[in-house]
Amino acid sequence: MREPDGGAAYAPPDSALFKTALDAIGEAVLVTTPDLDAPGPVILYANPAFSRMTGYTREEVIGRSPRLLQGPETDRTVLDLVRETLLQGAAVQGETVNYRKDGSTYRVEWLITPMRDGSGDLTHWIAVQRDITGLRQIEAALRVSEERFRQFSEASSDLVWMRNAETLQLEYVSPAFERIYKSNREFALADTDINTWLSFVHPEDRDHVMAGVQRARTGVSVTYQFRTADTSDGGSRWIESTAFPLPDAEGRVRRIGGIAKDISEQKANAARLEVMVAELQHRTRNLLAVVRSIAMETMTRTGPTEAFTRQFSDRLSALSRVQGLLSRSEQTPITIRTLIQTELDALGADAVRDRVVLEGPSVRLRKAAVQTLALALHELATNARKYGALSSEAGRLSVSWQTHKTEAGQRRLVLDWVEEGIKGPSTEIGAVVQRGYGRELIEQALPYALRALTSYELGETDLRCRIDLPLS
């Protein structure tokens, strides 16, 4: 404590206290004599940390020169520079390879400082040393990793980029930038924010692109597509970019990275394929019309029953309607409600709309399931209109559906077709429906083709059909 008159209350610490402090610190410490010529300098003091680093006990090094730590891999150029600096009485910092007692090497970093007496004369050298072997190994591994990353990104046809998450300044961009954006990448790297790069993006897509970058800044990986701005050599191109966060050890997003690729050719191929599919669907519908015409002509000449002709024509019409839906499926996805409503409308069910209830969420169907399911719904709707709930004013039709997931995580659709107020199975409906084509479709074709689970129950005054099929 300090005296009230300002005088010092503490005496200067003695050498024993200094020795205790040096023994306690974690860095290796040597104190040597000042002479630099052999056999000096001579070690006068070594702390426990020095023994842990080198394997030598204090007793083994006292009175010896620090040169006992040197060996074939010790850099003589560094040692000569150290000697030259110390001869001038100045402090020196450096690093080289040293040898432990067991002969193993380690990388050491040191700071050697002169100790002087009250007259300013050099009395000792004190060297603080640190084993930096692990640090240098990590740095070397990082250099190798960075070089591999650079080799990969420089050779990749995809564009690799990295930005500062806070400022959005571009820190790295691979050579593919020049091919995709038709501009020198150094121009983009020289900009301090994202505005220069945004000038390469089509004006209508810039907000969309920035929204994706902002999501990556919050720690979310996101993929987005956009067009480049028009160029002098042929307009814009389509780019798909994936942006992802690059957090530090504490989990904070310090940088965001990304991989972008030119998908213009894929977009063009998809457009061409869409046209081809539409044309194929159109031709298929025409072909079905031809088949129906041929069938009707043949039936006229061979004298089939009128019922056969009508049913055959109706079923081909159902297939034709499905092809129409499929031809527009890229623009308008096919939902279960659309499929049911299309079949009911084709049978003139609009006139009995007050007795028909359709209820369920919007569920998109996979294309592979549409055709078979449509035929089954066509048979159900046809029977309902001719013999079932829609054939008399007393009947009502309710079609409801919902989705669920199995224990295995598979998403499925469950559809319930319920007719009430129908004529009993002893009448015409019983004869037609009991083992008809529609029932075979439901109980045999759907399980086989779509792996569906089905049930079909015809009662005295109602009909209940359930179809449970996978959506993926």
Give the span between the Cα atoms of 463 and 460, in whole angstroms.
8
| 225 within 8 A of 195, measured Cβ to Cβ | no
Q: Output the pLDDT for position 29.
A: 92
Sort strands 238-247 and 253-262 into parallel, antiparallel or unpaired. Answer: antiparallel
pLDDT of residue 305: 67
Please, which residues bridge with residue 170 across strands?
A: 163
Q: Which helix (H) or strand (E) holds 312?
A: helix 306-327
Tokens 């439901």 belong to 442
3-class secondary structure, 258: strand
Peptide bond before 66: cis, by omega within 30 degrees of 0? no
Q: What is the model's pLDDT at position 324? A: 67
Q: How far apart are CA 125 and CA 113, in angstroms?
A: 6
3-state secondary structure (DSSP) of residue 277: helix
For position 397, what pLDDT does the model report? 92
Q: CB of 263 within 8 A of CB of 158?
A: no
pLDDT at residue 403, rounded to an integer: 94
Contact 459, 433 (CB under 8 A): no
Residues 37 and 17 sit within 8 Å (Cβ to Cβ) = no
**Cis peptide bond upstream of 361, omega within 30:** no
| Sheet containing 170-173: order of strands | 170-173, 159-164, 253-262, 238-247, 222-227
Give me 425's structure tokens. 């199975």
- For residues 416-433, one letter each, b for 16 or more C-beta atoms within 10 angstroms of the residue's C-beta and e for the rest, the string is bbbbbbbbebeeebeebb
Give the pLDDT score at 363. 92
Give me the torsion for CA of 149, 155, 157, 161, rounded to 10°. 30
What does R_g of the chain's alpha carbons equal in angstroms?
43
Residue-wise pLDDT tens for the chain (472 aa)? Answer: 444 444 444 444 456 777 787 777 888 999 999 988 888 799 999 999 999 999 999 999 999 999 999 999 999 999 999 989 998 989 999 899 999 999 999 999 999 999 998 888 899 999 999 998 888 888 887 777 777 777 777 777 788 888 899 888 888 888 888 888 888 888 777 777 788 788 888 999 999 999 999 999 999 999 999 998 876 665 788 989 999 999 888 889 999 988 888 888 888 887 777 776 666 666 566 656 656 665 665 566 556 666 666 666 666 676 667 666 666 666 668 889 988 888 888 777 666 778 899 999 999 988 778 878 888 888 898 888 888 888 888 889 999 999 999 988 899 999 999 999 887 554 454 444 455 667 887 888 888 888 999 999 988 889 999 999 998 7
β-partners of residue 226 are 239
Strands (E), 179-233: 222-227
Cis (ω within 30 of 0) for the bond into 39?
yes
What's the Cα-to-Cα distance from 250 to each of 32, 207, 247, 254, 389, rounded to whole Å? 43, 31, 7, 10, 67
CA-closest candidate to residue 30, choices 39, 20, 41: 41
* Identity at 55, one-letter amino acid code: G
* Closest to 257 measured CA to CA, from 382, 341, 165: 165
Cβ within 8 Å of residue 144, ≥6 positions away: none
**Rounded CA gap, 74 and 54, in Å?**
15
Alpha-carbon distance of 337 to 344, in angstroms, equals 11
Q: At what angle do helices 367-386 and 306-327 cross, to 10 degrees?
A: 140
Which residue is associated with the tokens 């004529």? 423
Q: How far apart are CA 421 and CA 408, in angstroms?
A: 39
Encoded tokens for 1 = 């404590």
User: Residue 309, class by beta-carbon neighbours within 10 Å (0-12 exposed, 13-18 middle, 19+ buried)?
Assistant: middle
Q: Look at the alpha carbons of 283, 285, 290, 291 in this order and tell me if their dihedral is positive or negative.
A: positive
User: Cα(442)–Cα(373) distance, rounded to whole angstroms?
Assistant: 9
Phi first, then psi: give them for residue 342, nearest 5 degrees. Answer: -60, -45
d(CA 321, CA 421): 29
Output the six-digit token pair for 263.
């998908």
**Contact indicator for 457, 433 with CB cutoff of 8 Å:** no
CA atoms of 471 and 106, how far apart (whole Å): 63
Q: Which H or E run contains 465?
A: strand 462-470
pLDDT of res. 150: 76
Helix (H, G, I), strand (E, B) or coil at 311: helix
DSSP conformation class of 303: -
